[in-house]
């Protein structure tokens, strides 16, 4: 039978301290309270912010016990440098990575490693030396020196060179770029759904089609297998408490935020057209692989 306990009743357990053998200037602290969880469900969001960040989550632990009302920003993993500066991985982010890139519940890249702790240990050995000095939201990839999993995107040019796409496939899809840009910027869900269906009906032979990713963003997709990679992608920046935080990781190349307007709108409500366009271009020219 599942037990439901508030966070305040969760016993305090000393953190596990893991030293990196390859990069001793970075260490990893692990809070074992929620390590090895089964699932993390967002139960409360902040509607006052355009990107609607998680405020509380429900955690199902490895033993089946359920903890409600957990602070979504609670650190499960903490990277520290030689100056004791930190990057945290919140329980909400850990759940996001586990859902999308370990259990692959939506299209995208999938890790070979089944353990978040194993992944975080690997990251601590390869973090760039200047990672703590980066300002704002930062995206980058790291060469990990071993197979990390399957990358869920590839450029249109790569897919054409591999014989997966034809020049006609690409030319037909690229005629839609401006329309997809506007849909992602200001289109309604009904308009997006109608577009996806109408394109498929008009171009059933095209190997590039369109579908939703992360619920609301329209992207091109190709029915082709994901590709092996030795790289790890990471996105980080300040969280709602201005703590330097990891937002996501995935096997594969550096990619910007998705072209979701909320992700390109600051706390004062100002929309950044330039970064949105960069994201829209990148996510259009690099289809997701759904084979």
Number of residues written out for the chain: 291
Strand partners, 250: 233
Q: Are 8 and 33 in contact (CB under 8 A)?
A: no
**Phi/psi of residue 162, nearest 5 degrees:** -85, -5
Burial class (CB in 10 A: 0-12, 13-18, 19+), 202: exposed
Would you state the pLDDT for residue 98?
95
Which residues of the chain fall below pLDDT 50?
1-24
Strand partners, 17: 29
Q: Are 245 and 239 in contact (CB under 8 A)?
A: yes
Would you state the pLDDT for residue 219?
98
User: Which spans in 26-166 are helix H?
Assistant: 91-97, 116-124, 156-161
Would you state the pLDDT for residue 205?
97
Q: Give per-residue pLDDT as tens, 229-253.
A: 999 999 999 988 889 999 999 999 9
Would you state the pLDDT for residue 239?
87
If you average pLDDT over every residue of the chain, what do you get?
90
Identify the DSSP state of 102: I
Q: Is the pTM of this model over 0.75?
A: yes
Tokens found for residue 112: 């070979």
Would you state the pLDDT for residue 25?
65
Strand partners, 8: none
Would you state the pLDDT for residue 52?
86
């Amino acid at each position: 039978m599942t037990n439901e306990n508030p966070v305040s009743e969760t016993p305090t357990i000393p953190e596990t301290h893991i030293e990196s053998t390859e990069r001793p200037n970075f260490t990893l602290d692990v809070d074992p309270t929620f390590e090895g969880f089964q699932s993390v469900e967002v139960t409360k969001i902040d509607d006052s912010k355009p990107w609607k960040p998680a405020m509380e989550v429900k955690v199902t632990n490895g033993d089946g016990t359920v903890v409600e009302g957990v602070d979504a920003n609670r650190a499960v993993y903490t990277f520290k440098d030689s100056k004791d500066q930190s990057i945290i991985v919140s329980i909400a982010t850990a759940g996001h990575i586990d859902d999308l890139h370990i259990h692959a519940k939506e299209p995208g890249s999938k890790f070979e490693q089944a353990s978040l702790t194993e992944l975080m240990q690997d990251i601590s050995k390869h973090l760039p030396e200047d990672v703590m000095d980066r300002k704002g939201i930062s995206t980058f990839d790291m060469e990990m020196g071993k197979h990390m999993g399957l990358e869920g995107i590839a450029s249109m040019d790569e897919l054409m060179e591999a014989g997966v796409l034809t020049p006609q496939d690409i030319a037909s899809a690229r005629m839609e770029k401006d329309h997809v840009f506007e849909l992602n910027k200001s289109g309604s869900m009904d308009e997006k759904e109608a577009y996806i269906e109408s394109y498929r009906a008009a171009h059933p032979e095209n190997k590039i089609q369109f579908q939703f990713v992360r619920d609301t963003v329209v992207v091109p997709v190709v029915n082709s297998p994901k590709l092996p990679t030795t790289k790890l992608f990471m996105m980080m920046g300040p969280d709602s408490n201005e703590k330097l935080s990891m937002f996501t990781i995935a096997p594969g190349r550096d990619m910007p935020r998705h072209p979701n307007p909320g992700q390109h709108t600051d706390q004062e409500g100002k929309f950044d057209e330039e970064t949105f366009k960069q994201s829209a271009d990148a996510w259009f020219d690099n289809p997701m692989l759904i084979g």
